[in-house]
Amino acid sequence: MKISIYNTWDHVNKAFAEGEKRAVLAWDGEYRINDIIEFSELTPGRFYVVRVDATMDEALVYITKESVLYTVPFYEKKTSYNPLSFFGNRHYVSIRFAEDHEISCYRNLSRNSFDQHDVDGVYPHSSANVETRGEAVFAARNAIDGFVATRGHGEWPYESWGINRQDDAKITIDFGRKVDVDKIYIYTRADFPHDNWWVSGTLSFSDGSRLKIALEKKTDEPQIFENIDRKGITWLSLDELIKADDPSPFPALTQIEVYGTQSRLRADL
């Protein structure tokens, strides 16, 4: 596997590393706008653990492509990241094969700090039919990045999924393979009085089933839905969100955590 850093306008490598089971790239230099971090010579249909910056957690991801391009965020696109991410003149990037125990254990299957808006072939992946004004601080990826600071809105660490006041707002988490799910945590944004909140919503699953959920009033705590018991699903979505009768028009989702394991319906994963 290989890690390469280059700029899209000249494709000249700034830094490079490779390895058989693990690649670690520690390099001196500054990121510039339009820089790309490329992970290549990957095995499609395999799990990897990726750290794209020293300030960010490792991400356990399922990759279905031979190469993945990660665009280094700048300016407005960086507002949903730690200000120290991709900053300075010394950096650390790594990728390795995931261990069997990491893949098979019970965990939050939706968390992915490596997710990006236009990513293809890397899972879990979040997407939505609306993101407030197209701004990074309200993008769907924020709902699975691992940060649960609910008492604010806007730049990191208060990034969230914002719905731009759209009544039919819907967010989808795609796992890229079959998983078994038994519990879901939902963190609604709680920056009151700026925020509104949802009184109910619907969880839809790839098996065609749907579950109506009731949500709590003005809470900054996780709302836990247990005994979900969905096996062999490949995605889920949250929609049919009904906001409360409150002067604020701004409900939002800070985080969704989906707990479970690899599906026992698939012997190869």
In a domain, 239, yes or no: yes
Based on the fold, state whether residues 29 and 66 are members of the same structural domain: yes
To the nearest whole percent, how much of the chain has pLDDT over 90? 94
φ/ψ (deg, to 5) at 134:
70, 20
Q: Residue 172: give its domain's CATH number.
A: 2.60.120.260
The answer, yes or no, to whether residue 155 has pLDDT greater than 50, is yes
Q: Is residue 243 part of a domain?
A: yes
Contact predicate 153/79, CB 8 Å? no
Q: Is 269 among the domain residues?
A: no
The predicted-structure confidence for 162-199, as pLDDT tens digits, reads as follows 999 999 999 999 999 999 999 999 999 999 999 999 99
pLDDT band, residue 11 (cuts 50/70/90): confident
Q: What is the DSSP letter of 78?
A: G
